[in-house]
Amino acid sequence: MISGIYTGLMLVVFLGIVAWAWSRHNKATFEELSHMALKDDDQINHQSEQQTEEKSHE
């Protein structure tokens, strides 16, 4: 009985993570992260600083 409840709970958690990962809200973030390995460190640091400044102005 307990193992069935635990399995069901883990299935719901797994499906929640999958839904979050495939949501349109996160697409831009994941696209940017997928290209990060191809960028130079200076470009990454510059973009990070710009995003920090934009968030502080909000």
Residue range(s) defining the domain that contains residue 27 = 2-57
How would you label 28-48 residue by residue, b for 16+ Cβ within 10 Å and e otherwise? eeeeeeeeeeeeeeeeeeeee
CB 36 within 8 A of CB 44: yes
pTM of the entire predicted model: 0.50
- Work out how many domains the chain is built from and give that number: 1
How far is the C-alpha of 8 from the C-alpha of 16, rounded, in Å?
A: 12
Q: What angle do CA 54, 18, 38 make, to 5 degrees?
A: 50
> For residue 16, is pLDDT > 90?
yes
Termini Cα distance of the chain: 50
pLDDT tens digit sequence for 23-46: 888 888 888 888 877 777 777 777
